[in-house]
Chain A
Amino acid sequence: MGSDDIIEVLGGLSLFADLSRPELEEVAHTFEEEWFPGGQRILRQGFTGSGFYVIIDGEATVSTDGKEIAKLSRGDFFGEISLLLGENPTADVSSTGSLHCLVLAGPVLEDFLTAHPPVMYRMLQALARRLRASNKWRS
């Protein structure tokens, strides 16, 4: 995947949909690209120092104490909850097949989000959707 392709892919993800091309280019340079083979643990329950991940290709599972609770795929992101709360992840995230991600180091997520309010708003929307889904039984 070349430089242009990464920017194309980023522009197609809802999280980054409001960014201009130079902003996407900065994002492409700010995030690191990582590739994981199938069955690899990426976010580790209870470990310090984790990061924020955006899936650009492939699938992953979320599990707590070895029990699968969700599936993630292209455009989904993970790792943000523990970083926003300043706590260690409460779940494992593992690749199901080969998984291609963009990764932001945990310590810079806050600066990144405050420098890119449209991304923060999109993230808020995604978190609101998750909250609604998990609260459905109330309504």
Chain B
Amino acid sequence: MAELNGNACPPGEYPVVVVGSGPGGLQTAYSLRMHGIEAAVLSGDEAAGGMFRRFPLFQRLITWTKIHAPADRGTRPYEWYDWNSLIGQDPSLRALVPEYMDGSSYFPARSEMERGLTEFASRSAIPVRYGCRWESTRMDGETFVVGTPDGEYRSRALVIAVGMTEPWKPNNIPGIELVPHYVETRPLKEYAGKRILVVGKRNSGFEVADALLPWARQIVLASPRPARISVLVHSTAAARARYLQPYEDHVLGGGNIVLDASIERIDRLPGGGYRTQLKGTTRPGDLVLETDEVIAATGFGTPLGDLGELGVKTFYQGRLPAQTAFWESASLPGVYFAGSITQGSIGLKKYGIPSNSAAVHGFRYNAVVLARHIAETRFGVTIPRRAIPPDEIVPFLLAEATRGPELWNQQSYLARVLSLSNGGAVDEGILPLANFVDSAGPDGVAITVETDAEGDIHPAVYIRRGGHVEEHTLASSALLDFTSAEHTAQLTSLQKSFMG
């Protein structure tokens, strides 16, 4: 790849500069090109793939791709079942990850995922300048100037797609700096027979604990908040079922422990190992743990370089940039985000369930929508919109709610939107729900899929009339089919109100 694209994108002025060649950067650059905008893609790596060149540490993803699925591979409905491939228009660019899976698991191996991404980059021939590290950013009027060892890149629109990839540790635990971060976990056999404290009970904490189960003498997982489990809180952001073996071990009294405790300090012991002082949270009390190893599975931040000095505001303890509904910096217009960083554009987060923007199956659609938004708002590209005859509105919206992969993979976050005028409807495509419900746009109707607090999955319809938005939820369906007579009757009745 480096040889193939070695001379791609020489320093100079470009309509858009994309930093990063992981799935977020590739999807954005590809989707921009579909609107006639050629971005310069800069990558500090030697090939495409981003974090999947190295992670997950234990070499298998937690996002599935179903080789055998209810929809045909390569179709739009199939995307719902394939959480890992990028979205291409040409058939040769669709569903690439299952093409390289050996079929032994419905979670791709890291190498299978990486292959899917490098194939997308090479087949689409997106010009990427590899080995070209983003070193600095400055403004020249309204132009961003990106400094690299190869020279300067200038653009009025900058897309940062560097992943939430920077190992992060909290700053309030004395001694945390002494222990390795999750990314520094050594080969498993080096932990044979050892007692290990894992700080953190999110996916990286449970992933490392799960991998250590056959090796460790004892594992203690500790963090202040009780573990959140995906099947209980209906979110991929919580600990996934695949990694729950250590938790079951704890619950059944198997000897490994899951603690709700704040870590007060960590000290190295003179003879090797660590002494950690903890204070219980859900069950008060002081604890002291002596372990051979401590691993800080405390998460990641975004390597934003010098963008903070330029005015990009962050939150979540500085780990994510604050963003608009269209993934633009809330404080520095012209800087956009793609990839897992887009989880910083929170959306409605109904019932506390976050978007899937932290994972490929969510953020690939954010990138498609972002590219269209940039094309329309910054380059004046006119994107044709299809008129939907009044008698097709209900079946169209219900089919979208039943089979639209964007709506299923980004529940309560991305919506199918129709604008309404003069008794007719026009398909506005997929848009951020937050944009639709909170911006004073023309009359319209949006449909989403949502999961409520009881885990019930159903469509939600938002009707905007005269700048005021009303929400209506439709019935759920045991077989996830929202095209039934009941749904048709419900939406037809609503259509009478929004079509006047």
**Chain A residues engaging chain B, CB cutoff 8 angstroms:** 1-4, 6-7, 20-23, 25-26, 28-30, 33-37, 40-41, 44, 46-51, 98, 100, 103-108, 115
Flag if B351 contacts A107 (CB, 8 Å). Answer: yes
Q: A26-B225, A26-B281, A49-B348 are in contact. Are A7 and B313 (CB under 8 A)?
A: no
**Chain B residues engaging chain A, CB cutoff 8 angstroms:** 170-173, 223-225, 233, 260-262, 279-282, 284, 313, 315-318, 322, 324, 330-331, 346, 348-353, 412, 437-438, 450, 452-453, 460, 469-471, 473
Which residues in A have their C-beta under 8 angstroms from that of B346?
34
Q: What's the dominant secondary structure at chain B's contact region? A: loop
Pick the residue among A3, A25, A47, A98 that contacts B313 (CB under 8 A): A98
Which residues in A have their C-beta under 8 angstroms from that of B233?
105
Flag if A106 contacts B223 (CB, 8 Å). Answer: no
Expressed in whole angstroms, the minimum distance between the Cβ of B463 and any Cβ of chain A is 11
Task: State in angstroms the CA–CA spacing of A21 and B262 once bound together.
Answer: 9
Pick the residue among B261, B350, B352 that contacts A22 (CB under 8 A): B261
- Could you list some 27 contacts between A and B, CB below 8 A? A2-B170, A2-B171, A3-B170, A3-B317, A4-B172, A20-B284, A21-B262, A22-B224, A22-B279, A26-B225, A28-B224, A29-B223, A29-B224, A33-B315, A33-B316, A35-B316, A35-B322, A35-B330, A37-B330, A37-B331, A40-B438, A47-B350, A49-B348, A51-B352, A103-B352, A105-B349, A105-B351
Q: What's the dominant secondary structure at chain A's contact region? A: mixed
Task: State in angstroms the CA–CA spacing of A49 and B448 once bound together.
Answer: 14
Task: State in angstroms the CA–CA spacing of A30 and B473 once bound together.
Answer: 29
Pick the residue among B261, B279, B318, B452 that contacts A48 (CB under 8 A): B452
Which residues in A have their C-beta under 8 angstroms from that of B279?
21-22
Q: Which residue of B lies closest to A30 (CB)?
A: B225
Pick the residue among B171, B282, B318, B349 that contacts A51 (CB under 8 A): B349
Q: A29-B223, A29-B224 are in contact. Are A100 and B315 (CB under 8 A)?
A: yes
Flag if B172 contacts A3 (CB, 8 Å). Answer: yes
Flag if B318 contacts A1 (CB, 8 Å). Answer: yes
Which residues in A have their C-beta under 8 angstroms from that of B315?
1, 33-35, 100
Q: A4-B172, A22-B224, A37-B324 are in contact. Are A49 and B452 (CB under 8 A)?
A: yes
Q: Which residue of B lies closest to A50 (CB)?
A: B350
Flag if A26 contacts B262 (CB, 8 Å). Answer: yes
Flag if B322 contacts A37 (CB, 8 Å). Answer: yes
